[in-house]
Structures are given as structure tokens and as C-alpha cells.
Structure 1
Amino acid sequence: MKGSSVVEIVLRSTRVVTPEGVGPAAVAVAGGRIAAVHPHDWVPPRAARVADYGDAALLPGLVDTHVHINEPGRTAWEGFATATAAAVAGGVTTLVDMPLNSVPPTTTPAHLAVKRRAARSRVHTDLGFWGGAVPDNLAELRPLHDAGVLGFKCFLSPSGVEEFPELDDAHLAAAMAEIAAFDGLLVVHAEDPDQLAAAPSPDGSRRYGAFLASRPRAAENAAVARLVELARRLRTRVHVLHLSSAEALPLIAGARAAGVRVTAETCPHFLTLTAEEVPDGATEFKCCPPIREAANQEALWAGLRDGTLDCVVSDHSPCVPELKVPDFGAAWGGIASLQLGLPAVWTAARDRGHGLADVARWMAEGPARLVGLTGRKGAIRAGHDADLVVLDPEAGFTVDPAALHHRHAVTAYAGRTLRGVVRATWLRGRLVAEDGRVTGEPTGELVERAGAGVAAGPSALAAPPDARDATEPAAASKEVTPT
């Protein structure tokens, strides 16, 4: 379909969410891209296929820039096929894969090539990659940037896997200076290691309160302050990942007002789940930084309303079920939610008076802007990829983990009633999911940073490595992964 100027498909709805607002429209698709957004009663060419979704809303396909797919190396935890199937079933059309917990991590161009080979012909979404910034790969950052990664992730405290160590003060400053030299982007797991070391240990406890005390807000606040000061001095573009502590919001807002290039995200679980409701031993709720109290949650919503928080992304970080032991100190940290982010956020947003345009801005436009994909993704606009999601915003459902497409039936949303049912997902003009079913073979393409060359589709990639290299899980670390 690429290159065609003939309208092949028209998607019609009385509620189309565009940058100009929400209203009736007909979206014409040609060659996998949006050719035009017409009035609702526009008469399409005779040969065009028409999909009329009535009063169901038509939103841009979501862009999720924080996903741990874990392939190769820990594919028993997740994998490209299962993660991307869950994504399209939930209305997500573009993912960006984190550089850990795969083996090898994405810390060199050679490791990036392994990732790309592992993803070949297995992805139902379009897919980009983060590179990693670790203590020993300073010389690899520019080559990774040139190879097309969308930015670099680092940790300020232990990551939980030995192959991806954190950056101390000196290594952080060096990485930020190097990334600033080519105007790259550093995305940061911001928890201060000294604050964490001083907090009480949750080891051996089934109580969520013990775990929450072990990851205090002060750890996030101190790390964000450190990051902002370095960004101010070195003029590096930085992004705070999965912000949980609302106390850090004024610092981020003030820094941005002063010209510091800092952005921040939060996650559906921080906006929809609260510490007060986590049962003892329910480690499916464990993530780092943690789900905090209801009052903190409302302050995060205020940060979304005033624009301090730029986007909402999943931080989907699953593991094998046996690592979710009921001890909050020993259990693996990470929440599996990739398929549920849109209904979870819509449920909570609607209760607070927000509309579909807000959700599209937080979950499609904002993440696309973060990784430089606004010319292709994140909006229903002529010239963009025809990535579209059909949402019935009034319909509700109860979460059944067995009905989810990610590899293991473990989620903190089990049994929760959510509003907003994804009826269909279109990727570049192809119907890829309908009513929870993934339709057809994987047709996703790999996405590179703008300026790194032509983005390579699956057919342009080399053959995958030996199956054992791509899929055999490595021995799991016994440490807890802060995602």
C-alpha cells in the first residue's frame, strides 16, 4: 500500500479525536497513511472500503515509550510476539523497548542489531528501541545514536540486573555531557541510592506498607533535583521516567520555566491504583518507584492537568509468575498492564472530568513528541501513519487475566471493572485487532530516530539469530528489578 495516493479505506465516526477537537469526521486512508480528514458525510470513492463505527470514538493509535519486552534472553518473561499482541489488543500501535531486561542489553550497536534480528517479523506494532547508558559504554553512546536508537536510559540506583548497572555521579555527568554533544535524550529511573539505603528494608514482609516505606518519596525528590541541576549545567535533554512522587512536580515545573530541558511521565498504575487498597502479599502491585497514597495520586492528576507531566505510558514489566512471591522484599518488581492502559486511564480520567482529547494527548501525542515521532505518530492528521484505535467509551468490562495477550496471566488489575472497550486497532491502514482478537500475522515495522536513515521494515532486516540466542531465558537475577 505504500506510496499509493488512491483512497482505499475510510473510517467514519461521530467522535473522531483530532488535534482540532472531537467531532464527526471521515478519515481517508491511502498507502498506509491518512490522506485527509473529511466531514462525516463526505462521499468516498466507489472502490474504497468503508468502516463506519457509529458513535464509538476514533482516537490516534497510542504510543507507549516505556515497555520491557525482555527478548532476547528472558523471553520466558515476555517477548516481542506476546507484548505487541497485547499492545494492539489494547489500542497501542507503537512501542519503544527498554534496553533491559534482555540479554544482551541494548548498550552497543552490536547488541542493538541482536534486538532488531530478534524482533524481525514478530511484532504486531511498530517498534523502536532505547539504548542504555551504563558505566562502561560512554564510547558507544554516539554510535548507538547514529544507529537509530530514540534515546538512552540510565538508572541512578541499582537496576536489579547485573548486566545493567547504575550510573554514579561521575558517570552520570560524563554520559549527560556526551549525550548533550549530539543533542540526544537521556531518560532516567530517578531514585536516589543513598535515600534508598537509609530506608527500612522490606525483606521478609508481606505488608505493602513495609515496601512503601522502603522506597520513600524523598528518594525520587532527591534524584530529580540532582538530575535537574546537571541538566541545567550541561544543557542535556532529560526525561524523568515513571514519576510516582508528586512532591517532585514543582521542581520539574520550576526547572522547565527556567529553560531547563526536562520532561516527565507517569503511569496508569500511579493514576488508578492506591497504596491503601493493596492487600498483604499482593506483589502483583509491586513496582519501583511504588504505587503511593490516594492524596499523592490526586496531585499527579493535577500535574497532568497543568502540563507538568507530559505523557502517560505503561512501564509494562512482567516476569514469570513464580518470581511474584508474596514477600514484598523478595518479589520481582514490575506491573503488567500493556493491554489495559487505555481503559484504566480513561476510567479514572472520565471520573475527574477529563475528555477523550486529554487521553489522546497524554497517551499518543505526548509520547510521540518525546521520541521525535510527531511527523508520523500520535495524531489523526493528514500525512500521519493511519494508526487508529476505536474505543467504545461508555462500555465496561471486568478484567480477566486469562483474556490478556501478554505472556503470563498476572496483573494488578485482575477483577477490576474498567470503562472503555477497544473495538478495533488499525496499524498503517491495516486492521490488526478487533474485539480483543489479534487479526492476521505480525506486520509491524521497526522505527528509527529521525535522521538516522530510512526506518527499516521487517523485510529489510537480517535473518534472526539461532533460536536459542533469541529466545532462551537467562538465569534470573535474585535482585528486585526497579523498572
Structure 2
Amino acid sequence: MFDLRIENGTVVTPEKSERTNIYVLDGKIAQLTDEVLEAKEVIDASGKLIFPGFIDPHVHSRDGGATHKEDFFHSTRAAALGGLTSLIEMPNAVPAVTDAERFKAQKANLESKAYIDFAMWALCLGRLNNDDLQELDELGVAAYKFFWGYAINKSNYNLVYNYEKGDPNVIPPLGDGEIYTIFEHVAKTGKPLAIHAENADVISELTSRLKVEDYENEYEALLACRPSVCEETVVKTGISFAKATGAHLHILHMSAKESVDLLKEAKEQGINVTGETCPHYLNLTNKDFLRVGTKIKGYPPVRYQADQDRLWEGVEQGIIDSIGSDHAPHTAEEKTGSLFKIPSGMCCIQTIVPLMINAVSQGKITANQLAAVLSENTAKLYGLYPRKGSVLVGTDADFTIVDMDLEKTIHMEDMYSISKVTAFDGFQVKGFPVQTIVRGRTVMKDGKLTCEQESNGEFIPA
């Protein structure tokens, strides 16, 4: 007898959509068939779409170091409520994931709180930890993150947004030579080197001569300091380094139309480059600042309608491989004030799936394309496939069941995260996740968490 039968739903993968019954045994997919076989539990998915479990590869849970904003207990439960079955946790916690010892400590910390399954990033610091990258690979990190153009706190390796040159407590942004050596070292692992692409020198120069009063509003002034050329120049250099070293370059949170064009050209040349964008770049533009205010601030910034249109083309055409939330919450107090002083980032792990389902309802992408960018592509990119991101016999029984007819309004107070500040408060969506299943166990049903265990999730080695 099987543990679970999911019947009468339409299974959606990147390749096809078909009616079939799914049978689960011991947390794995055991059989896919039209036959009706005996099972201890039955889920009737009539009229629903069944996706391979959705994965968010870009999550900052602030655990540890800033748990007044968020922690892994809350972020993973928010993820389940939003229809995610797995996530990949970013490395810039305190302590940062920079070597084997810190990786093991953070893995244990996250395992004690995880509600869904998770993988982990490692942080690249250049010569400070180039020699640690191979061991981190062997421990199962999914990918390596490099904050191109950012200064780093010398004591805890967290990002420093504003600093005085010569500050002994700050590691200044790395030069291209040292960045090139990072590419060389990561290339040896075969895993992705993902970059935050912003040119710090250009931003610094433009900011130094800025007069906010010359612009229509503060957000237009912010965009003037961080124009798309800041992203474009770093993407160009990154592609050149990837071509020269053989490293797999992954461009995170693409915000500019030029980046889509560069990614397309690089792929056509056979360079090992992939790309990600986020729901805020796909659903917001500079015009939304007047409506949502400072909640819109992120780095790189939300740009113009032309950028959003090209990003959607990139997703629809398969140029952009993956969608990540870039969940990075801050408190309401922290997000209040001048755009030039408040931190960047927002609460968005619980909204990534509904916003992308809504895009299917709007006809921007198909359900099959959604299965690619939120599941299969992401799992393949980060070395988690086929255990994750597939509907194949022998793989983890992770599913997101979606009601495409369900209409909802996103409310900030419904966010499970500690800090609930989101630019999508009041946003209306059609299509919504109604059941989240991790390794055969329902962890969310009809908007309610269904598991009582403190820790339900497992670490997924890549």
C-alpha cells in the first residue's frame, strides 16, 4: 500500500501537462499511473494544477545576526504558506558562510528551525577564502555568492553600504584582478558563481555630485545614482571572466534590459552563463514609488517600464533561467526615512509564487514555463535535480498544488515573516497555491500550516 495518492489533478512540467495519479511511498514518488491503487491518504486535486515543488534560490533569512528582522523559523514557514517546498539560503549571516567550520555551524542552526527543505550558499571573499571553496563544494554548497562592488565588514563579513575610505574595519570592494582569481577557483568546483552586479565606482561618483532637488522625486534621484550602466558594465566583465576561466557565471536579480541582451548574446556564444530576475522587477516600475513609497527600495533598483518589458521577454523566451525572491526583510522603522539612508530589501518569500502564478493568469508566461523557472531550471542550475524540481519516480515527493481560479489580495499583515514590510501590500492576484507538499507530507493546506514539528525540513546537498 502507498502512503499517498494524489488524484484527478493536472501535473505540469516544463515539457507537458497531463492528468495522472501520483503515488508516494516513504517520501518518494513511487508510481505515476492512471490506475487507482490503494493508499493510506488521498488528495483530490480535481480542477487543480500540480507542479513539481517550487524552489526559491535567493533568500536572506537574517539568521543569525539580524533575527529582529527575520529568522529561519519564520522564513521557512512563510515559504510554505506561499507554496514553496525548498529554498536556498544566502551566506551573509553572522557568522557568514565562508569556510567549512562556519558552514557546519550554520547548517546545524538552520536544520533546527527548517520547516521546508533547504540548500545553502557560500560567500566569496577573494584571497581571504579562495582556498576554502573546494572544501565547501565537498560539503554540498549549492553555489558561491560574490557581492561585486560591495565593501565588507572585516569582523563579520557582512555588507557595508556606506563607509569612509581607509576605514580599518572595512574590506574595500575587490579589484578586477582579485575578482578574476575568484572565477578561477570557483571554476574548479563546477558550481555557479553568482554575482550581485553593480559598479561601485560609478555609483560613488554619481552619488557624490547628486542634487536630489534636481529630480521629480527622491526615487528618480536614486535611479540617477544607480543607472543601468552600473549593472551592464559588471555583467559584461563577468561574462568575459567566465569565458576566460570556464566558470559558470550566474547573474542574480537582473533589473536592466541591457543585462537580458548581454545574457542572450553570451548564451548564443556558448559561454556558461545563466540569469535570474525577481518578482519586484517584473511587477513594479519607477512609477510605483508614488504608491508604495520607500518599500520599493532594493539594490539593484526597480527601474523603468522598458526594463520590465525586456525582463518579461527574457523569461518568456527562456533567456532568463530562474526566478528568485531576494527575500531580505527590514523592520517598518528601518524602512522609514530618506531613500538614501534606509536599507534595501523587502519581505517577499511568501509572495514569489502567487505573483508568478498571476503572470500565468495574465498570459505573460505559460504554466509550463512557470514549472521551468520556479522548479526544474532552478533545481538543475544549483545541482539539486532530479531529487528536486522533477516529477519522476524515485525523486522527492515535493509538490505545489495551485488553484488557478482562486483570487486573492496580498495583505502585509498576512505575511508570516517577523518583518512584514512588502511593496506588494494590496496587490491582487488570480491563481494561488492551496497545498504545499514536502517529501509526501502536507505542510500547508488552504493557507494554514499543517505540521507541528519544530523542524520538518532537511538540508539538500548539491
State the Cα distance separating 1:430 from its structure 2 match.
Answer: 0.3
State the Cα distance separating 1:250 from its structure 2 match.
Answer: 2.0
Paired letter, 1:7: F
Which stretch shifts more, 341-350 or 55-64?
341-350
2:3 is aligned to: 8
Which stretch shifts more, 19-28 or 407-416?
19-28
Does residue 317 of the first structure (1) align with residue 328 of the second (2)? yes
State the Cα distance separating 1:97 from its structure 2 match.
Answer: 0.6
Structure 1: which 4+ aligned runs deviate by more than 4 Å?
Answer: 159-162, 201-206
8 Å CA contact retained: 1:270, 1:292: yes
8 Å CA contact retained: 1:18, 1:381: no
Paired letter, 1:176: F
Does residue 95 of the first structure (1) align with residue 87 of the second (2)? yes
State the Cα distance separating 1:321 from its structure 2 match.
Answer: 2.2
- What CA distance in whole angstroms lies between the structure 1 residues aligned with 2:45 and 2:186? 45
1:172 is aligned to: 179
Q: Specify the SS of the correspondent of 2:8.
A: strand
What is the 5 A alignment of 1:182-193?
A: 182-193=189-200
2:78 is aligned to: 86
- What CA distance in whole angstroms lies between the structure 1 residues aligned with 2:26 and 2:363? 39
Deviations 1:229-268 (A, max 9, x none): 1111111111000100111222222212222111001011
- Out of 55, 65, 90, the position equivalent to 1:63 is 55
User: Percent identity of the aligned residues?
Assistant: 30
1:326 is aligned to: 337
1:368 is aligned to: 379
Deviations 1:363-410 (A, max 9, x none): 111111110111211122222211111111121111111111111221
- What CA distance in whole angstroms lies between the structure 2 residues aligned with 1:349 and 1:198? 41
2:164 is aligned to: none
- Out of 121, 134, 139, the position equivalent to 1:130 is 121
State the Cα distance separating 1:159 from its structure 2 match.
Answer: 5.6
Paired letter, 2:178: H
8 Å CA contact retained: 1:151, 1:184: yes
State the Cα distance separating 1:360 from its structure 2 match.
Answer: 1.1
8 Å CA contact retained: 1:203, 1:330: no
1:37 is aligned to: 32
Q: 1:445 to 1:249 in 2, by over 3 A?
A: same
**Alignment RMSD (CA, Å):** 1.8
2:263 is aligned to: 252
8 Å CA contact retained: 1:188, 1:239: yes
- What CA distance in whole angstroms lies between the structure 1 residues aligned with 2:36 and 2:79? 33
- Out of 383, 398, 401, the position equivalent to 1:387 is 398
Which stretch shifts more, 153-162 or 375-384?
153-162
Paired letter, 1:444: G
Q: Specify the SS of the correspondent of 1:51.
A: strand
- What CA distance in whole angstroms lies between the structure 2 residues aligned with 1:14 and 1:183? 38
Aligned residue pairs total: 440
State the Cα distance separating 1:13 from its structure 2 match.
Answer: 3.2
Q: 1:237 to 1:187 in 2, by over 3 A?
A: same
Q: 1:204 to 1:447 in 2, by over 3 A?
A: farther
- What CA distance in whole angstroms lies between the structure 1 residues aligned with 2:438 and 2:259? 36
Q: Specify the SS of the correspondent of 2:36.
A: coil
Q: Specify the SS of the correspondent of 2:345.
A: coil
Q: 1:181 to 1:409 in 2, by over 3 A?
A: closer
- What CA distance in whole angstroms lies between the structure 2 residues aligned with 1:160 and 1:93? 32
- What CA distance in whole angstroms lies between the structure 1 residues aligned with 2:388 and 2:381? 11
State the Cα distance separating 1:280 from its structure 2 match.
Answer: 7.2
Does residue 214 of the first structure (1) align with residue 225 of the second (2)? yes
Q: Specify the SS of the correspondent of 2:302.
A: coil
- What CA distance in whole angstroms lies between the structure 2 residues aligned with 1:212 and 1:99? 27
Q: Specify the SS of the correspondent of 2:42.
A: strand
Give ranges in structure 1 of 5+ residues lacking alignment.
1-5, 450-483
Normalised by the size of structure 1, how large is the TM-score?
Answer: 0.87
